[in-house]
Structure 1
């Protein structure tokens, strides 16, 4: 690079004639050298034209040039890659106010392309009241600036991980968790993110005929901006994606370590399968990938692949550490989701096998039931119902709800129903059945309380006897009535508490009257009083000729859409018999 002395046309008009050209007379070189040569900070003296008149050894080392290459030249001539000093220097000459400035760029001493930073202080020099020039003191702060940048990066990573704990794993659905993970890291941490998991039906790698190819199910894929649509060619969520043995995903799962895959020289030593995929990625402007295993409790669940495009910074060692921590936390959420899904399936199958449709107790009694499970995000509950034929044309109907969720609740439900069927054979009134059931549950050690509503209908007597153990009241719909009526049955404590104290209430129930029973999932809503919710059931009606199946369909359509818990409903009525025609003489 050519360094030249500026022409006279470039001289600063602020030069004071009394100072002359060069170092001010009152600052002779031996004195200045004696004072400043040993200073560890870089020091320079400039004349009123902003040309170097003195440079100490420390500044020589900082700039990478000897003093002779400075003298008589300006900042821009000596260090052309440093910008922005001239205006500040002229400001100090003009008003005499000292200034500080942070300078960045490169000097002749730079050994790498890493940015360097200096802190410079400028003071005006005067002699006899005349401006003679400036003194410049320079200290390199590259390490401080780098540490500050690293600190800010670390703070950003801590914030990223803290936010991840809130935004990832909000449900117990595995695909939702994968999607949350991909959406969280794009664009804050990567330009493209893919989450690939082992198929849940086997829980281990699924291989094709070629043993060197790993097949995973793509659970989530997200790209920044236009990349979101462009990367879909590599496998939509829900599809199976194959990875060769030399792919970053396969290697990270085999080693259980993050694998940083720089695609700059991908053709050397790569399989054609992997090389073609990288070439297609590069065509979209993608440059490198970081594959991180998703492992929980020592078991691999899949892999998170982070990709950065041209224009984004390369993955640093700190990025790899953060990606691994992020993947580790997400893997715990995925493991919870997978374990929940497994337990949920078992509980659902168990409950489905136990909650069979009750057989009709008598040809003169019409029964309709429904069971509506809650969303996948809610554990299966212990809702149950049953119908048991009794003597003299009577029948017992039960609606119960075991407290809690999961497999344990479903198992407890089967115990309650079995005990109830055993007691029903003794032909006791409803409140005594509840009394004995409560005592038997307490003695059995079953630690799951349950609510229960019992109703014994006598079709000949036209009456329904009802008793409740902490359950919601029944609803009766009379033929042709414009509104249903909710019977305020005296409710005792839930079963399994051992307190007893149940009462039977008699309610008229003639032919055609519908008895409607339900669990709290039908009416219970967050933030609403339960009495208000139950009161809405008074609007139920059954038009002439309407069936119980139609009634339950309307009930679930109206009240079951926003349910947060499982729903069980049962409707029954005594069929209206046609009049008996008798022949003359009294014979039928």
Structure 2
């Protein structure tokens, strides 16, 4: 058996230096067989020094990898080089995969070809630290990315789609989000003891989309009993992990054996369920799956998904609260903004109210149509300043007050004057703009007056629009009075359009310029009023409106004008 002998020297013996160091040292022959192994390398390898002699590293420790091509280069040119040795030995380590960094030198061996001397140092702890640091950086990067990509709106569907799209493919092959449903409008409640999840959104690679549709069964909901992994996960507030899951584990998620077969058919082998918890209660759940050649979930994956779920839960909860509060606000608005009275048969009226897209606050916009004597109709468009419940209540008061005044006064500028006087006398602290127009189908005349409101527009039979720039009096509630009216002809085929500033107002643009944009529209004049209003809203909309929008259109009915001509 070949062996290396220590050279003799003066001073401290070489053997004492080499065998006393904690650094692993080996001597190899030209065929990379071991001639010598010091005690440090024998200790970390778990083998005696004699077990190495005459053998290569692969023969002794097959689970260690070393770049032998680098060692061949050192033998060829004599230049020292570094090499990395990695893998596992017979000595267990808490670090798992171990790592050494070694320097190899060519040495002259008496009576044989040149060999190598390798001196190493274990860097497993450093590598583990760097890996942990890199993992932490990646986790922070994911969280930062999620902060900008998840929860960009207050729409539940959009928020959940953003979450599932982010999770797959970043952390899984497929992702699905379910939201706890607490309101059961339009559907019977779940059985006692069950939690209802609304299947909101999911993401999967091409070819796996069918899995998302079949995962929870038919219908928009899935009712979860106790004992199911999804329910347990929400009840205890902790994730549930099934790596390389058996059918029994899949059964804890799917309940229905058919669903287990669906997962298997899609190649899903690992599942991770994480609850969306906020304020100590679950608002939903995220289900992640890995399939095919993807690795099972790691503990780092679970930690990262938990952190993402914690942040996402706040966005989902905000979206749920917004949706609920927005629905309640609209119901309040509809209750306060009762349907306008039916105009006289000679006048056709249509109206729309759209809430602002940026808040759940109800507003002070209102519209009305009030029948007057002699077949005339009073059209009203108003806007109480401010938002919120108080503005909506004030709007309801103003609307009722105006209706009362219109029963005794029928001239628009006089109605505004009395309206302003009574509001100021009542001490209501919110000003309002208001536009009144009286349409008389018998004469074809229309008389309008404004209390600080935007001017009405007239849609002509040729589709062109003209803005009627009225004398603008002070807003209602100032007590200043001084309103003037303007009379125009409204022949059959002409349509009068009243609106609030939310329709045309744009941030950074002068309001007069915005009104001119309305005048620049070309609309089909012979369509039903409802269709015409939908067209106006679609053409002027730029995403969500920044303010509430109320719009009312009125025109003389053709059959009424023909009836008048036949009578004359």
Give TM-score, length-normalised by structure 1. 0.79
Match of 2:237 in 1: 256
Structure 2's unaligned 5+ residue stretches are none
Map 1:123-134; keep pairs closer than 5 Å: 123-125=105-107, 132-134=114-116
Match of 1:554 in 2: 532
Map 1:197-276; keep pairs closer than 5 Å: 197-202=179-184, 214-235=195-216, 239-262=220-243, 264=245, 267=248, 274=255, 276=257
Match of 2:434 in 1: 452
Q: 1:369 aligns with which of 339, 343, 350?
A: 350
Match of 2:449 in 1: 466
Change (3 A) 1:269 1:492: closer
Measured in 1, the distance between the counterparts of 2:417 and 2:53 equals: 111
Which moved further from structure 2: 115-124 or 374-383? 374-383
Q: CA deviation at 1:562?
A: 5.8
- State whether residues 173 and 377 of structure 1, in contact with CA within 8 Å, keep that contact through their aligned partners in structure 2: no
Match of 1:509 in 2: 489
Match of 1:10 in 2: none
Q: CA deviation at 1:326?
A: 2.1
- State whether residues 244 and 273 of structure 1, in contact with CA within 8 Å, keep that contact through their aligned partners in structure 2: no
The structure with the largest alpha-carbon Rg is 1
Residues 276-311 of structure 1: CA distance to partner in whole angstroms, max 9, x if unpaired? 344653453323322222233333323222223354
Q: 1:570 aligns with which of 528, 553, 557?
A: 553
Change (3 A) 1:452 1:298: farther
Match of 1:15 in 2: none
Match of 2:65 in 1: 83
SS in 1 for 2:162: helix
Q: CA deviation at 1:456?
A: 4.5
Residues 134-159 of structure 1: CA distance to partner in whole angstroms, max 9, x if unpaired? 33121122222222222222222222
Which moved further from structure 2: 67-76 or 375-384? 375-384
Q: CA deviation at 1:410?
A: 3.8
- State whether residues 186 and 223 of structure 1, in contact with CA within 8 Å, keep that contact through their aligned partners in structure 2: yes
Residues 47-91 of structure 1: CA distance to partner in whole angstroms, max 9, x if unpaired? 455443332211112222222223343333333333343211122
Measured in 2, the distance between the counterparts of 1:62 and 1:541 equals: 86
Measured in 2, the distance between the counterparts of 1:134 and 1:368 equals: 99
Change (3 A) 1:232 1:579: closer
- State whether residues 417 and 481 of structure 2, in contact with CA within 8 Å, keep that contact through their aligned partners in structure 1: no
Give TM-score, length-normalised by structure 2. 0.81
Match of 2:40 in 1: 58
Match of 2:402 in 1: 420
Q: 1:168 aligns with which of 140, 150, 154?
A: 150
Measured in 2, the distance between the counterparts of 1:579 and 1:282 equals: 78
SS in 1 for 2:72: helix
Q: 2:270 aligns with which of 269, 274, 288?
A: 288
SS in 1 for 2:64: coil
Which moved further from structure 2: 550-559 or 63-72? 550-559
Residues 481-514 of structure 1: CA distance to partner in whole angstroms, max 9, x if unpaired? 7744212234456556x59576424233365464
SS in 2 for 1:260: strand
Change (3 A) 1:409 1:170: farther
Measured in 2, the distance between the counterparts of 1:160 and 1:237 equals: 33
Change (3 A) 1:68 1:532: same
Map 1:148-187; keep pairs closer than 5 Å: 148-187=130-169
Which moved further from structure 2: 106-115 or 147-156? 106-115
- State whether residues 454 and 500 of structure 2, in contact with CA within 8 Å, keep that contact through their aligned partners in structure 1: yes
Measured in 1, the distance between the counterparts of 2:490 and 2:536 equals: 27
Q: CA deviation at 1:96?
A: 3.5
Measured in 1, the distance between the counterparts of 2:445 and 2:539 equals: 35
Change (3 A) 1:27 1:308: farther
Match of 2:52 in 1: 70
Change (3 A) 1:95 1:440: farther
Structure 1's unaligned 5+ residue stretches are 7-20, 583-588
Measured in 2, the distance between the counterparts of 1:37 and 1:463 equals: 111
Which moved further from structure 2: 37-46 or 551-560? 551-560
Measured in 2, the distance between the counterparts of 1:556 and 1:269 equals: 50
Measured in 1, the distance between the counterparts of 2:567 and 2:312 equals: 75
Change (3 A) 1:93 1:321: same
Measured in 2, the distance between the counterparts of 1:573 and 1:207 equals: 49
SS in 1 for 2:469: coil
Measured in 2, the distance between the counterparts of 1:561 and 1:325 equals: 42
Which moved further from structure 2: 383-392 or 25-34? 25-34
Residues 242-275 of structure 1: CA distance to partner in whole angstroms, max 9, x if unpaired? 4453321121122232223456455499779738
Q: CA deviation at 1:167?
A: 1.9
Q: CA deviation at 1:200?
A: 4.2
SS in 2 for 1:138: strand
